[in-house]
Amino acid sequence: MKYKNLIKQMTLEEKASLMSGENFWNTKAIERLGIPSIMLTDGPHGLRKQGGKADHLGLNKSLPATCYPTAATLANSWDKSLVYKVGQDIGKEASSEKVSVLLGPGLNIKRNPLCGRNFEYFSEDPYLTGELASEMVKGIQSNGISACPKHYAVNSQEHMRMTIDEIVDERSLREIYLTGFEKVVKESNPYTMMSSYNKVNGDYANENQNLTDILYDEWGFDGVIVTDWGGNNDRVAGLKAHNQLEMPSTNGITDKEIVDAIQAGTLDEFILDEAVDQLLTLIFKVGFENKEPVHVDYEEHHSKAVEAARQSIVLLKNENRILPLKAGTNVAVIGDFAKNPRYQGAGSSLINPYKLSNSLDHLQKSSLNITGYAQGFKRMGASSSKLVQEAVSLAKSAEAVLLFIGLDESKEAEGVDREDLKLAQNQLELVEAITKVNKNVIVVLAGGGALELPFADQVQGIIHTYLAGQGGGEAVVDLLLGKFNPSGKLSETFPIQYTDVPSSDYYPGKQASSEHKEGLFIGYRYFETANVPVRYPFGYGLSYTTFEYSDIVIDGLHVSFNLTNSGDVAGAEIAQLYIEKADSVIFRSKKELKAFDKVYLEPGETKQVSLTLTDRDFSYYNPEIKDWEIESGNYMIQIGSSIQEIHLEGTVEMAGASPSVFLKNSYPYYASANVKQITDSEFESLLGRELPPKSWDPHKELGMNDTINQAQYKNWVGKLLYNSIMFVHHFLKKIGKPLTANNVYFVINMPFRQIDRFSGGKVSKNNVERLLRWINR
């Protein structure tokens, strides 16, 4: 133990006191021993340091900071150095505000496009996720502070996020849900890690010994696990499973639980000492004692935010080369989002932007001839024929229309999943009306993820900004005008319709559990293997130039090829390497991304691209030997500009084993990736145990870890509580306050144990217990 002597000087109570926060954002100090308090703050795509009242839903304003594109957006850049630089800048802003731990990046896997927080996560692919998140961590930590990758693990849905039990088989857990975290730990050594709220296979992530053993013993993590805010359930069980820091403060309640457990002999004091030692190691590493003050140039950071957006925005359609728009073109600008950008998501990641650019201003200052602006639709969905009429008459006389549409702020928020993949009906009606009167419509989309695009064949151009941060408004104008050549590619698949998504029939888990029946067939792993058509495939994105691939050489695990810019403007291409084992005897994804590179090329220029694979890239996880294993034989190496546009191929032979698990004939539905048909018994055989109940038992007595949602199945007190909250939720939605409605809905998913903590002590634990007694009566 590094701080053995210091720990020896502490009383039991002092040691236990360090295990939870002083307040919402700080750890406790022990002044007599010179132990300072450190501050932890969100994250992830900018700094959210709250000056005044604290909360974890982004309700109260934070200090102005640079709002960079969110992770889902940055992931479309596939640019590791860019993500590093963004991390570096955010870390610098955190340092300048004496924030020691920046709560991010978020790297949960986008299991299903409806997850309300997908905008904060990188990709449906674990390799891409891990590569980019590692760079973000390195960038943040280059400032001498700690990143805090989150939420470990399988935080796949927002609905019931504090109690849902995510049921995942061991292979999918390792290959899909943990790989990103593993890469981050091994490649960038984060000093902290945030456990998620949910359960994983029966145990709360924060108390899940399996998850923390993997983290510490297998991957060599030596930092501190921090609970998600209010994510502690059983403090002693959490401590035993390596959770050193509970946040936020519990006013000493859980510190006492630790002391009591040691005194009763149910917790070994050594476990506490070790946890204190790990926490002190963090505090003394990332604290600000004796550090020089850091100065931030926010104008410079704004320019970097614009650059990050330029690199990340994806050009999805460019019929007849309608883009870039030529100087002097008469252009009508339509859509509320042109003037009031949608640039970030709601919840704990909500940044108060230092400055905010909008596209309309930049278009009006550009070389285009802007013939006018029309709002076109009401942002929160109400229909308005007047706004449509105004937009239509403006569109009629223009040579081209730039139509800014997307998801409004209420659609992507922490605590609530999306209801569908659709754009609001009033926006779809607007698109229809405009395309009837103008043939040159370019849709500029905003929103943090995949969308259904029923109008894709009716418009000439589509460009997806995702949630491009405070500089997105001007960045997209640079792309529309050709000042910058688009180079982003999708880090997730765009299905034609939501029902095509593998887990669409059972996502999200509604009550007790969420079954990951589709196993590893999420995103492109499903669409490619099951041969289901998509709107836009994984890795897809257009450029104003063209690229040619040639001369592949495969030398062992080294793959090289030439990439040429064969068009007449400079641009960057994201070359992707997939592997395929066509004759595999085990069920597996048809293709898997294993390497990529983003290469910038002048017109006519050729560069050699070299990519190196590792044994792990060919391995699957075999739970029987608790290790990664290669199936011996030939593997196809494919180089493409998306998962569906493969330009070069070759093979490599790998030595390995002959598998005895996951054999295709034992898993007929998994073998064909026909995951929508998977029976409970096939899933159970993959899982190796019986499925736990999906639903709540209405007769069960409710306890502190149950949710207000469950109260509706109890007596009239429970029903009244539930119905009153839902009434307020629906009422707020009806009167056009969907954001507040979301926050009210959040309460439904809250376990009773959170009521006293989140009410800031206004509702005491005794009162919550009394309420529970009434509900159970």
Catalytic choice (125, 165, 169, 228): 228
- Compute the distance between CA of residue 619 and CA of residue 655 in angstroms, rounded to an integer: 11
Which of the 8 DSSP states describes residue 664? G
Shortest CA distance to 109 belongs to which of 43, 175, 189?
A: 175
Nearer residue to ligand BGC within complex by CB, 194 or 259: 194
CA distance 63 to 499: 41
Q: Which stretches of 287-373 are DSSP H helices?
A: 298-312, 336-339, 359-364
9 burial type by CB count under 10 A (0-12 exposed, 13-18 middle, 19+ buried): exposed
Interaction between residue 103 and ligand BGC (CB under 6 A): yes
Question: Which residue, 484 or 758, has its beta carbon nearer to ligand BGC?
Answer: 758
Q: Which of 65, 388 has the CB closer to ligand BGC? A: 65
Contact status, residue 404 vs residue 359, Cβ threshold 8 Å: yes
Distance, in Å, from the CA atom of 89 to the CA atom of 350, rounded to the nearest integer, reads: 17
At what angle are helices 126-141 and 179-188 packed, to 10 degrees?
30
Nearest to 522 by CA among 108, 103, 112, 233: 112
Contact 233, 705 (CB under 8 A): yes
Q: Is 615 a catalytic residue?
A: no
Longest C-alpha distance within the chain, in Å? 81
Question: Across the beta sheet with 146-147, what order do the strands follow?
Answer: 40-42, 101-103, 146-147
Looking at 26, 42, 316, 706, which residue binds ligand BGC (CB under 6 A)?
A: 42
Q: Cβ of residue 148: shortest distance to ligand BGC, in angstroms?
A: 8
H helix or E strand, kind and range, residue 263: helix 253-264
Residue 228 within binding range of ligand BGC, rule CB under 6 A: yes
Whichever of 74 and 333 has its CB closer to ligand BGC, that residue is 74
Q: How many C-alpha atoms does 254 have within 13 Å on its Cβ side?
A: 28
Tell me the closest approach of the beta carbon of residue 55 to ligand BGC, in angstroms.
Answer: 8
Q: Which is nearer to ligand BGC, 228 or 617 (CB)?
A: 228
Phi, psi at residue 79, to the nearest 5°?
A: -115, 105
Task: Please identify, using beta-carbon distances, which residue of 42 and 478 lies nearer to ligand BGC.
Answer: 42
Q: Which position has the token pair 């991957």?
A: 219
Angle between helix axes 765-776 and 716-734 (nearest 10 degrees) is 110
Least separation in angstroms between CB 58 and ligand BGC:
8
- Residue 348 interacts with ligand BGC (CB under 6 A): yes or no: yes
Site residue total, ligand BGC (CB under 6 A):
8
Q: Does 229 bind ligand BGC (CB under 6 A)?
A: yes
**Smallest distance, ligand BGC to C-beta of residue 196, A:** 8
Q: Supply the DSSP symbol for 216.
A: I
What single DSSP character describes residue 36?
Answer: -
The nearer residue to ligand BGC, 60 or 764, going by C-beta atoms, is 60
Size of the chain in residues:
777
Shortest Å, Cβ 69 to ligand BGC: 18
Q: Would you give the binding string for ligand BGC spanning residues 403-422, x where CB under 6 A is met?
A: --------------------
Nearer to ligand BGC, 200 or 322 (CB): 200
- Nearest approach in angstroms of CB 718 to ligand BGC is 25
Q: How far is the CB of 62 from ligand BGC (least distance, A)?
A: 10
HEC assignment per residue over 604-661: CCEEEEEEECCHHHHEEEECCCCEEEEECEEEEEEEECCCCCEEEEEEEEECCECCCC
Under the binding rule (CB under 6 A), the answer on residue 150 touching ligand BGC is yes
Asked if 56 is part of the footprint of ligand BGC (rule: CB under 6 A), the reply reads: yes
Q: Smallest gap, in angstroms, from Cβ of residue 763 to ligand BGC?
A: 19
- DSSP annotation string for 683-740: HHHHHTSPPPPSS--TTSPP-TTSBGGGGGGSSHHHHHHHHHHHHHHHHHHHTT-HHH
Beta bridge partners of 225: 193, 243
The C-alpha atoms of residue 172 and residue 518 are separated, in whole angstroms, by 9
Minimum CB–partner distance for residue 208 and ligand BGC (Å): 17
SS3 assignment, position 552: strand
Q: Give the shortest CB-151-to-ligand BGC separation in angstroms.
A: 6
Nearer Cβ to ligand BGC, position 86 or 102?
A: 102
Whole-angstrom distance, CA of residue 502 vs CA of residue 55: 35
Shortest reach from residue 692's CB to ligand BGC, in Å = 24
Q: Are 304 and 86 within 8 A, CB to CB? A: yes
d(CA 369, CA 331) in angstroms, rounded, equals: 6
Question: Closer CB to ligand BGC, residue 229 or residue 752?
Answer: 229
8 Å CB contact between 346 and 739: yes
Beta carbon of residue 448, minimum distance to ligand BGC (angstroms, whole number): 15
- Nearest-Å Rg of the Cα atoms of the chain is 26
Residue 241, token pair as written in the block: 């499973």
Please report how close the Cβ of residue 626 comes to ligand BGC at its closest, in angstroms. Answer: 31
Contact track, ligand BGC, 12-31, x by CB under 6 A = --------------------
3-class secondary structure, 240: helix
By DSSP bridging, strand 203-204 and strand 224-226 are unpaired
Note whether 147 binds ligand BGC by CB under 6 A.
no
117 or 581: CB nearest ligand BGC: 117
Considering the complex, state which of residue 150 and residue 525 has its C-beta at the smaller distance from ligand BGC.
Answer: 150
Spatial CB neighbours of 633, under 8 Å, sequence gap ≥ 6: 581, 583, 584, 653, 654, 656
Between 191 and 526, name the residue whose CB sits nearer to ligand BGC: 191
Site string for ligand BGC, 553-572 (x = CB under 6 A): --------------------
Taking phi over 0 as left and psi of -120 to 50 as alpha, with beta for the rest, 514 belongs to beta
User: Could you list the active site residues?
Assistant: 228
Binding residues vs ligand BGC (CB under 6 A): 42-43, 56, 103, 150, 228-229, 348
